[in-house]
Structure 1
Amino acid sequence: MIDPTALTILLLAWVGHYGIHLAFYNRLNCLGWPRKRIKRMVKAAFANAVLLPPLVLALYWQPLLGIVQQSTDWAQLPVILRIYGSLCLASVPLLGIPWLIYRPLFGINHVKIKVRGRLLDARDHCSEKLPRNGFANWVTGLPLNQVLKLSVEEIELPVAGLPEALDGYRIAHLSDIHLTGDIDWPYSRLAMEQALSAAPDMFALTGDIVDCQETIQWLPKIFGDASARDGCYFVLGNHDTRVSHPDEVRQQMETLGWQDLGKSATCVDLRDVPSLLAGNESPWFPRVEIDQFPRVEIDQAQRERVKFRLLLSHSPDQIRWARQHAFTLMLAGHTHGGQGRLPLVGPLLSPSVHGSRFASGSFYLAPTTMQVSRGLHGNHLMRINCPPQVALLTLRTPSGKRT
């Protein structure tokens, strides 16, 4: 006779085993550790996640079967296995309940936005063959893969504390360009052309621009003619450390007229509203200390005049720091929307200390509104129900009290 309680316990332990490894993977990939160390740990975690359950089943199938059939007890299992099984069981509520609470379905901390989007197949809009090798050509052609289906989204974003003069202000937000060399540069150029056609007041690029040295020479072709009334700003991300000298990326972008907020903050007037623009590339690069401004000349009088604070951060993990420094709006990327989204459940994978809570979308954690981009590209050439994104933001003063 099958013992349903014992069977349920074993199944929950199995679920908890994968939950632990998923949580570990997400948090590991948000750290500023050397890439090789992280990759080794990712491979070890993946192997353990996949191989441990069948190994345990093969070694202890008789006592496990006896437990399910009520012919033996749990003491027949090794102590270490019982301890790990208990840990897996405990992880189900400890990890699962917070994970469930923050699913997009429930909308906690989410901002209600208006979106008008159009999906462009980049292969229909670029005369060049975009995949540059056989593997990329094969993967991009797989069913359901949206890696070359560019989503151009016009988003009306309510921003708490937004000065009335900035109602209707337009920002073209791009992130995670990931020039890996697998997909040719006209794909990223198509995204820029879509953003340029919207005539934004400002361009904001939130990191992971270049993945390999050879693609630095593509930057003028993609970003060379970018222009906006209030300027074009960028920060770098973790993948920009993969070139020989990340400063080469900075210098090239600055040569093209983009302003680097990763090195310094600046005070500007946006529609006559005194505004602070800053960047945060932590943990991969040192961040600007907002209270002291060690690398720029901004005096106390300028700081006191500021009515709007905008932060460009590569990772949404800096939301706590943004709140501590009272940023009105934070733009981020890094998470790629999870690369894939399940119906109702949403994303599972997300390189963030918050897991997949802020994988993509619009959020409000007082006093900061945060917009997280799904990005344009990535090392993984697979996206399911998660198309790459060009976000054309129109900032709005909230019409009512935010809940």
Structure 2
Amino acid sequence: MNLVWVCLALIAHFGLRLSAYNRLNSLGWPRRAIKRIEKLMFLETWVTPAVIGIVWARSFRSMAEGSFVWDDLPLAVLAYGVLCLILGGMLFVLWLLWRPIFGVQHAMVTRVNRVERASREDIEQFARTPKCRRAARIPGNQFLDLAIENIDIPLARLPRELDGYRIAHLSDIHLTGDLDPAYMARVINRALEFRPEMFALTGDIVDAQECVAWLAEMFSAARANDGSFFILGNHDTRVAEPSEVRRQMAAGGWTDVGGCCRRTRLRGIDVTLCGNEWPWFERPSPTEIIAIEEAMDAQLKICLSHSPDQYDWARRHQFDLLLCGHTHGGQGRLPLAGPILSPSWHGTRWASGDFYRAPTTMHVSRGLGGVHLLRIHCRPELSLLTLRAT
């Protein structure tokens, strides 16, 4: 039994470091600082149990032989083990509660999922680099398998005139140069088949400087009657000048709503449309939101946010619909358990899917790309949303 407690403490040790990693990557700190902390964390994660195991190896051997007594270990090691068990146990309960299989706080949506699996011809067409071609050959890797998700989302305060309104939601494009622009052309063509009335792009558009010049031509085809709107995400800070990303997207016919609120009309209905890029860029101030509301009789409020961590902010400001990305669905998902990695202050709670906490319904896309060309049980997602009145 003593050995069981040690194993549980060791598992909790690793679980706590994983939890800290998720939350570290939700912060708006400079990337260089986060990467340095990650390296130190990775080193400490393995060094701490290794040092304890080596220094007190005799005690652990006696534990396996059944002759161990707890007094053989120093108080500091015992205290650390107990702390891991307590904190790890608390986090495990919360982690278990938010597993997708239980559907806690999930919105009651209707999904029809169609998957376009990458063929050998697709790999030859889309993979620009040897790295990308090698990744595509990894068994079980789904990073080129496109999941086209048709989702009916009920909104409690949706005006009847907007029942059936169609939004094509794109997120986390991550142009690194590994994939040919033809890949996004295919995604946009699939979105256009849906006949969207609006396009929405929720950040992380480009990672490599060379790809900034692609933007205007790449996204110019994504046109909708009511407009195409975008914000930036944390990866868009990695290029030399994020403002150039905004200019190129505008040249492609897209409207930048990052950090501001706009008045728009959808099917003749006044709508407030805002963009929240916090904590990497700006989000609308309460004063700006109030000013927009006072200047119009908005019957619906929509927010584009890169991170789902802005859910509580959206609820405080009474948004009806929040569209997010950033978490990639965890990049990989375990059967039943779902994701364990998610760059969010809330861990994997909102890694992907549809959620409702009054008055806001939130849709979190798994995104379309990634710096890491690896997805396990977590296909890229093109979200085709249809709003429904309840």
The TM-score bracket by the shorter chain reads: over 0.9
Q: Are residues 1:358 and 2:350 paired?
A: yes
- Structure 1, unaligned runs of 5 or more: 399-403
Kept in 2: contact 1:128–1:186 (CA 8 A): no
Output the CA distance in 2 between the equivalents of 1:130 and 1:226. 19
Report the Cα distance in structure 1 between the residues aligned to 2:108 and 2:336, rounded to whole angstroms: 17
> For residues 128 and 224 of structure 1, do their structure 2 counterparts lie closer, same or farther at Cα, with a shift above 3 Å needed?
farther
Letter in 1 for 2:343: P
What does residue 335 of structure 1 align with?
A: 327
Does residue 230 of structure 2 align to residue 238 of structure 1? no
2:385 counterpart letter in structure 1: L
Match of 1:179 among 175, 182, 189: 175
Q: Which residue does the alignment assign to 1:74? A: 70
Structure 1: distance between partners of 2:247 and 2:383: 25
Which of 131, 135, 139 is equivalent to 1:139?
A: 135
Q: Is the 8 A contact 2:123 2:136 kept in 1?
A: no
SS in 2 for 1:233: strand
Give the 4+ runs in structure 1 shifted more than 4 A.
Answer: 122-128
**Are 1:97 and 2:119 an aligned pair?**
no
Structural RMSD (CA): 1.8
Say if 1:123 and 1:148, in contact at 8 Å, map to a contact too: no
Partner of 1:39: 35
Question: Which residue in the other structure is 2:204 paired with?
Answer: 208
Of the three residues 286, 292, 295, the one matched with 1:301 is: 295
1:315-355 CA-to-partner distances (Å, cap 9, x unmatched) read 00000100000000000000000001111111100000110
Equivalent pairs counted in the alignment come to 390
2:21 maps to what in 1?
Answer: 25
SS at match of 1:291: helix
The Cα shift of 1:182 comes to 1.8
Percentage of identical aligned residues: 48
TM-score (ref. length: structure 2)? 0.96
Paired letter, 1:153: E
Deviation at 1:126, TM superposition (A): 4.6
- Pairwise CA distance, 1:33: 0.4
Q: Deviations over 1:212-236 (max 9, x none)?
A: 1100111133201221111100000
Q: Give the Cα–Cα distance (whole angstroms) in 2 for the partners of residues 144 and 156 of structure 1.
A: 29
Aligned to 1:257: 253
CA distance in 2, matches of 1:43, 1:135: 24
2: distance between equivalents of 1:14 and 1:323?
A: 38
Q: Answer whether contact 2:232 2:306 (CA < 8 A) is retained.
A: yes
2:220 aligns with 224
Among residues 95, 109, 112, which one is paired with 1:113 in the alignment? 109
Deviation at 1:384, TM superposition (A): 0.5
SS in 2 for 1:16: helix
* Contact persistence 1:171–1:202 (CA under 8 A): yes
What residue in structure 2 maps to residue 401 of structure 1? none
Per the alignment, residue 388 of structure 2 pairs with 396
* Cα 1:124/1:198, change in 2 over 3 Å: farther
**Deviation readout 1:256-294 (Å, 9 max, x if unpaired):** 111111042111121222110000000000211143359
SS of 2:288 mapped into structure 1: coil
Greater displacement, 124-133 / 334-343: 124-133
Find the aligned partners of 1:124 and 1:168 in 2 and give their Cα distance.
Answer: 37
**Secondary structure of the equivalent of 1:310?**
strand
* SS in structure 1 at match of 2:189: helix
Counterparts of 1:30 and 1:8 in 2: how far apart (Å)?
33
> Does the Cα contact within 8 Å between 2:25 and 2:34 map onto a contact in 1?
yes
Counterpart position of 1:387 = 379
> 1:37 and 1:306 mapped to 2: Cα distance?
42
Distance 2:288 2:130 in 1: 51
Question: 1:116–1:153: 8 Å Cα contact kept in structure 2?
Answer: yes
Q: Does 1:289 align with 2:285?
A: yes
In structure 2, C-alpha distance between the alignment counterparts of 1:188 and 1:392, rounded to whole Å: 15
Using the alignment, how far apart are the partners of 2:36 and 2:74 within structure 1?
29
CA displacement at 1:57 relative to structure 2: 2.3
Rounded Cα–Cα distance in structure 1 between residues aligned with 2:189 and 2:314: 30
- What whole-Å deviation, never above 9, does each CA across 1:182-206 have from its counterpart, x for those lacking one? 2222112211111112110100000
Name the residue aligned to 2:312.
320
Residue type at the aligned position of 2:266: L
TM-score, length of structure 1 as denominator length: 0.93
**Inter-partner Cα distance in structure 2 for 1:195 and 1:47:** 44
Cα contact 1:265–1:288 (8 A) shared by 2: yes
Judge conservation of contact 2:191–2:384 (CA < 8 Å) in 1: yes
Contact 1:323 1:367 in 2 (8 A): yes
- Structure 1: which amino acid aligns with 2:85? L
CA contact 1:341–1:385 (8 Å) conserved in 2: yes
Describe the SS at the equivalent of 2:125. Answer: coil
**Structure-1 separation of matches of 2:345 and 2:279:** 12
CA change 1:127–1:31 in 2 (3 A) is: closer
Letter in 2 for 1:355: G
Contact in 2 for aligned 1:315/1:335 (Cα 8 Å): yes
Question: Does 2:14 align with 1:14?
Answer: no
Which residue in the other structure is 1:151 paired with? 147
